[in-house]
Amino acid sequence: MVRWEPGARERLQAAALDLYASKGFEETTVVEIAQSVDLTERTFFRHFVDKREVIFAGQDVFQQGFIDGVADAPHGASPLEIVTSAVLAGSGFFTEDRRTHSRQRSAVITATPELRERELLKMASLAAAIAGALRERGVPDPAATLAAESGTTVFRMAFERWLEPDSKRTLIELEREMFAELAALTGSTARSDQ
Amino acid sequence: MVRWEPGARERLQAAALDLYASKGFEETTVVEIAQSVDLTERTFFRHFVDKREVIFAGQDVFQQGFIDGVADAPHGASPLEIVTSAVLAGSGFFTEDRRTHSRQRSAVITATPELRERELLKMASLAAAIAGALRERGVPDPAATLAAESGTTVFRMAFERWLEPDSKRTLIELEREMFAELAALTGSTARSDQ
DNA sequence: GCGATTGATGTCAGTTACTGACATAAGCAT
DNA sequence: ATGCTTATGTCAGTAACTGACATCAATCGC
């Protein structure tokens, strides 16, 4: 007989997401989340630094995928090519079977400014990590930072489209299209109005 | 004889910034801020929705500068040209005499994750507003969003450099350079390593 | 002029996120 | 067995934030 049911962390994450989704983030108390899986508020805060972080736990895993992508990019690639490789590599994490879960998660985040803030901070830290990896490869600033920021922007926009209800394409396809759009933005002479 | 000293809002802002700078954001309580200018905690929260917002009050003013810049951009300009015009226009707000104040403010924000989160949210809302203005001018998505995001990224990076201790150049000069870097990123065939 | 209204503030009680200190008990090593 | 570690519980406390109600100068309507 075990003293505690295992997987407290995972149960808390699942319960939190469900509650945030069903009754809203602000309307959910941490005590509720904890009690719903037979734990106490104190235990919640031992696993997650705050009420928002439950939703973002495990980010580091996929962030590493991006960093590895930078290292694995072919020798002699341009900064933007390296970043493209990093984004595509990091996106391998988001397989088709995670799409539904990602959608629910994203809906909760979008509906809650407090969670959007946290997500933006995570993205900023991802961009900073990529920029650091670029610098280690010899890319100077501001090109390194600019490329990293552009890469995460492309990722965010592609990811958003990937989650759209009727979207059938692959995240990676969407990312390639978005990188092409970025190139067109500075390269093309297209006129937008007149 | 007046019933209250005028400018409660401004006094609270100044006091908050000073306290955040001198003893840190977390170590400062709202009660302290309010008492330091002879007001109560309750009054603080009537002026600012939360403890972070004191630092960001008045953002809307300069955000409007960016939007106006979109409207004022010449007819027939490309999306990125419009955004460039918007960023340069909005940056007129940051005159030389605001530099010292901006530096102190920025130092506090950089040192405090909670404030960085809020700043990122403000930037995201600025980007969304610019993208909306672009769409009104007929720029389709994803070009509109991508251009707006790129523009705010350039702004952030140029602004950061503008605040560096020994920086002598104008914000607008730095922004032009950064836009050039952005163009070089997608356009150049420069190799970064080998 | 003078009562009614408004607006910025104060007071106070309450909720909830979060923290530190200490207690408990299962499992594991020696 | 004994002690150590680990995941949890208990409890008391702080501080951010909110709602309800009170106050009182300025000002508006007449």
Give the residue from A126, A185, A194 with the most B CB atoms within 10 Å of its CB, the best one to mutate.
Answer: A185
Residue B178 to chain A, least CA–CA distance (Å): 8
Q: Spell out which residues of chain B touch residue A150, defining contact as CB-CB under 8 Å.
A: 150, 153, 182, 185
Q: Tell me how close the Cα of A1 comes to any Cα of chain B, in angstroms.
A: 43
Of B117, B187, B192, the CB nearest to A118: B117
Closest residue, chain A, to B136 (C-alpha) = A193
Which residue in B75, B136, B185, B191 has the most chain A C-beta atoms within 10 A of its own C-beta, making it the best mutation to test that interface? B185
Return the residue of B nearest to A127 by Cα.
B153
Contacts of A72 in chain B (CB under 8 A): none
Write down the pLDDT at residue A59. Answer: 85
pLDDT for position B192: 41
Higher-confidence residue of B187 and A106: namely A106
Taking all atoms of strand C, which protein residues have CB closer than 7 Å?
A 1-3, 28-31, 41-42, 45, 49-52; B 3-4, 8-9, 34, 38-40, 42-43, 46-47
Q: What is the per-residue DSSP string for B129-153?
A: HHHHHHHHTTPPTTHHHHHHHHHHH
Q: Which helix (H) or strand (E) holds B67?
A: helix B59-72
The pLDDT assigned to A192 comes to 40
Tell me the pLDDT of chain B averaged across its residues.
Answer: 92
Residue B78's pLDDT is: 93
Q: Could you report the average pLDDT of every consecutive run of 10 residues in chain A (194 residues)?
A: 73 97 97 96 97 93 92 92 95 91 96 97 97 95 96 97 93 95 76 40
Of A47-51, A185-189, B52-56, B179-183, where does mean pLDDT reach its minimum? Answer: A185-189
- Check residue B2 and give its pLDDT: 56
Q: How confident is the model at residue B186 (pLDDT cuts 50, 70, 90)?
A: confident
CB A78 within 8 A of CB B192: yes
> CA torsion A114→A58→A179→B132, rounded to 10°?
-10
**CB-nearest partner of A187 from B137, B181, B186:** B186
Residues of chain B positioned with their CB less than 8 A from the CB of A181: 142-143, 146
**What is the spatial distance between Cα B16 and Cα B190, in angstroms, rounded to a whole number?**
47
Confirm or reject contact between B74 and chain A (CB < 8 A): no
Residue B186 CB coordination number (10 Å): 18
Lowest-pLDDT range, A88-102, B148-162, B178-192?
B178-192
Inter-chain touch B193–A149, beta carbons under 8 Å: no
3-state secondary structure chain A: CCCCCCCHHHHHHHHHHHHHHHHCCCCCCHHHHHHHCCCCHHHHHHHCCCCCHHHCCCHHHHHHHHHHHHHHCCCCCCHHHHHHHHHHHHHHHCCHHHHHHHHHHHHHHHHCHHHHHHHHHHHHHHHHHHHHHHHHCCCCCCHHHHHHHHHHHHHHHHHHHHHCCCCCCCHHHHHHHHHHHHHHHHHCCCCCCC
Instruction: Give the closest of B76, B113, B157 to A121, CB-based.
Output: B113
Chain A: nearest CA to B115, how far in angstroms? 10
Smallest Cα–Cα separation from A3: which of A38, A30, A31? Answer: A38
- Per-residue pLDDT reduced to its tens digit, B73-82: 998 899 999 9
Q: Distance of CA A124 to CAs A61, A140, A150, B120, B153, Å?
A: 16, 19, 11, 8, 11
The DSSP output letter for B26 is T
Phi first, then psi, for residue A110 (nearest 5°) are -60, -35
CA B105 to chain A, closest CA, distance in angstroms equals 19
- Residue in chain A closest to B182 (alpha carbons) equals A146
* B93-110 average pLDDT score: 94
